Amino acid sequence: MDRATEETQRISAEAPCGRLLGTRSGEVLVFRGIPFAKPPIGPLRWRMPEAAEPWPGVREAIQFGPICPQAPSQIEAVLGGTLGEQSEDCLYLNIWTPACDGAKRPVMVWIHGGAFVIGAGSQGLYNGRQLAARDCVVVTLNYRLGSLGFLNLRDVTSGVVPATGAEGIADQLLALHWVRQNIENFGGDPGNVTIFGESAGAMSVAALLSMPAARGLFHRGIAESGAAHIGYSRERSARVAHAFLDELGVSDAARLKDIPYPVLIRAQIALLADLRQSRDGRKLGTVAFQPTIDGDLIPERPIEAIRSGEAERIPLLTGTTKDEWRLFSAINPRLRLMSRGAFEQRVRKVAGPATPEMLSAYGEGTTFDRFNAFMSDRVFAIPAIRLLEAQGSHAPVYAYRFDWSSRLLGGIMGSCHAIELGFVFGTYNQKLAGAFFGTGRAADTLATDMMDAWTNFARSGDPSTASVPWPRYEAQDRNTVIFGDGAPHTIGDPNQARRLAWEKAGEQKIGP
């Protein structure tokens, strides 16, 4: 049977949500565009999601659902991704499974990244076929982004618009409820669910780890290049909302629900483009739209809740790429030409009394190399270490670093942010993606090692494989598995001098 025939073969599944008609792709069944919530449109815009009602008859699950409204992104072009139709009616999920039987396979629920403003679970990069072929059930999902999912309008409209700025996380939570209620009918085990995500998706994983409302909905977590030093206070998120309303030029809060979403996205783009100062003269931040610590759904900053044991007994796998920041800096001529004095001034502003130690720790390479290492650690690697330390007191934790380098643009991007994604999903060699991720025998082996480790972790809570023995991360040795051009291997406390310099600088200096 050829691929075209496989993709047109229809497969039926019956679940509490209703009857679905999906397709077969090789040995894997695929169900796309399944609604898990009522469309968040009209009176439901800027409200917490409401569960979708079971449908009568048979619903086709052949095509992906629309994605959340968002701006075009150069990064998506680099990754070879295509997104599709946009609509506020975007709360859909997709399933890849070996069979709709009673086998109770481990379930892996993917939360996509994109700085909380771009991305979708339907991107070709996140095709779950290769992971599902390892006898797992893979779920990808959409959630509301940017001003539709992470805007605290309640505090700036005196409650006229009830959005707290945590609606996007609430969408993810509702999708997990859907998984618990329905996934057994797709061959999955609702008692063995792993949530995994990258960048903003990894930060979402950390938020869910910290939330009492999420307890029992998942049992393991994987956070790739994103950790728990996230979340705006209500006061800070209100500053973003004020700036957004100023950009819209809207003074009547009651009108907000009627503004077409393209107008909202244009205002969002303008706000993010200039990173303006808020009314009190303070900057909004480079990740202006992120979850609000509303005191209800998200009671406190995720890192603090995790330290106190909110995610007790939930194994965690987390790590970063070696050169995270190069995805953002490699195509920026101004940063590539940064002077030594400008770099040292940036370090001094962040590190304060720890500046000598920090400059010494980042003393190797060109100024551009030093800047990228500094920013990669500040935003990604050090928060990941803090997350490992926080959760390691309550459950087994495992660390990795991804050192494989992109060959794109003459290799200047190095082991940049998102470079591991094609290997985690086995989509590194699809269409245009290969130019960014790389191909060949070494790439094939790397993808096999990573997919085996990720699915083993989902199955048992331990990522070790026959080719990759994986020790736990403990404070005394800080064992970290390195994935790169050669065989995976373990290093104890990589970049120790850099870690110690950040400890002296203080935790308030890290995070996105």
pLDDT at 252 over 50: yes
What is the tally of structural domains in the chain?
Answer: 1
Is 199 annotated in the active site? Answer: yes
Give residue 276's identity as a one-letter amino acid code. Answer: R
Average pLDDT in the 267-271 region?
Answer: 91
**pLDDT tier at 273, thresholds 50, 70, 90:** confident
**pLDDT tier at 79, thresholds 50, 70, 90:** low
Q: How far apart are CA 80 and CA 506, in angstroms?
A: 38
Q: Is residue 226 part of a domain?
A: yes
Q: Is residue 91 part of a domain?
A: yes
Q: How is residue 24 written in tokens?
A: 């077969």
> 373: helix, coil or strand?
helix
Q: Is residue 468 part of a domain?
A: no
- Of the ranges 39-43, 73-77, 106-110, which one carries the lowest mean pLDDT score? 73-77
Is 324 annotated in the active site? Answer: yes
Q: Is residue 421 part of a domain?
A: no
CB 210 within 8 A of CB 311: yes
Long-range (24+ apart) CB contacts under 8 A made by 63-66 are 63/32, 63/33, 64/32, 64/33, 64/92, 64/94, 64/120, 64/122, 65/32, 65/33, 65/34, 65/35, 65/89, 65/90, 65/91, 65/92, 65/122, 65/142, 66/90, 66/92
Q: How far apart are CA 82 and CA 91, in angstroms?
A: 18
Q: How far apart are CA 219 and CA 395, in angstroms?
A: 11
pLDDT at 282 over 80: no
pLDDT in tens, 206-241: 999 999 999 999 999 999 999 999 999 999 999 999
- Average pLDDT of the chain, as a whole number: 93
Neighbours of 27 (CB within 10 A): 11
Q: What is the pLDDT of residue 81?
A: 53
Q: State pTM to two decimals.
A: 0.96
Map tokens 């993709």 to a residue. Answer: 7
Q: Which of 158, 138, 151, 143 is nearest to 28 (CA)?
A: 138
Q: What is the pLDDT of residue 135?
A: 98
Q: What is the CA radius of gyration of the chain?
A: 22
pLDDT at 77 over 70: no
Q: How far apart are CA 110 and CA 108, in angstroms?
A: 6
Q: Is residue 302 part of a domain?
A: yes
Q: Is residue 344 part of a domain?
A: no
Q: How is residue 149 written in tokens?
A: 């999912």
Q: Is residue 153 part of a domain?
A: yes
Q: How is residue 348 written in tokens?
A: 């001094």
Q: Which of 153, 91, 125 is nearest to 224 (CA)?
A: 125
Q: What is the pLDDT of residue 409?
A: 87
Phi, psi of 138 (to 5 degrees): -110, 130
Q: How far apart are CA 260 and CA 81, in angstroms?
A: 26
pLDDT in tens, 118-134: 999 999 999 999 999 99
Cα–Cα separations (whole angstroms), residue 73 to 78, 328, 408, 414, 420:
9, 12, 18, 20, 19
Q: How is residue 238 written in tokens?
A: 């209100």
Q: How is residue 493 written in tokens?
A: 């406390």
According to DSSP, the residues that pair with 277 across neighbouring strands are 283
Output the DSSP codes for 183-212. Answer: GGGGTEEEEEEEEEEETHHHHHHHHHHH-G
Phi, psi of 409 (to 5 degrees): 55, 40
CB 117 within 8 A of CB 71: yes
Q: How is residue 374 written in tokens?
A: 């500094």
Q: How far apart are CA 383 and CA 371, in angstroms?
A: 17
Cα–Cα separations (whole angstroms), residue 416 to 323, 327, 374:
5, 5, 13
Angle, CA 291 vertex, CA 288 and CA 295 arms, to 5°: 130
Cβ-based neighbours of 400, under 8 Å, separated by 6 or more: 317, 318, 319, 480, 481, 482, 483
**52: which DSSP letter?**
P
Q: How is residue 186 written in tokens?
A: 């797709």
pLDDT in tens, 309-367: 999 999 999 999 999 999 999 988 888 899 999 999 999 999 999 999 999 999 999 99
Q: Percentage of the chain with pLDDT > 70?
A: 95
Buried b or exposed e, range 176-192, using 16+ CB within 10 angstroms: bbbbbebbbbbbbbbeb
Q: How is residue 145 written in tokens?
A: 């982004």
Cβ-based neighbours of 295, under 8 Å, separated by 6 or more: 234
Give residue 265's identity as a one-letter amino acid code. Answer: I
Q: Domain with 227 in it: what CATH number? A: 3.40.50.1820
Which residue out of 198, 324, 357, 420 is catalytically annotated? 324
**pLDDT tier at 508, thresholds 50, 70, 90:** confident
156: containing domain? 1-235+292-314
CB 199 within 8 A of CB 115: yes
pLDDT at 396 over 80: yes
pLDDT in tens, 127-158: 999 999 999 999 999 999 999 999 999 999 99
CB 208 within 8 A of CB 169: yes
> 24: helix, coil or strand?
strand
CB 376 within 8 A of CB 297: no
Give the pairing of strands 10-15 and 220-224: unpaired
Q: What is the pLDDT of residue 2?
A: 45
Which residue out of 25, 147, 199, 278 is catalytically annotated? 199
Q: Is residue 498 part of a domain?
A: no
Q: What is the pLDDT of residue 394?
A: 98
**pLDDT tier at 279, thresholds 50, 70, 90:** low
Q: Percentage of the chain with pLDDT > 90?
A: 85
**pLDDT tier at 254, thresholds 50, 70, 90:** confident
Is 344 annotated in the active site? Answer: no
pLDDT at 1 over 50: no
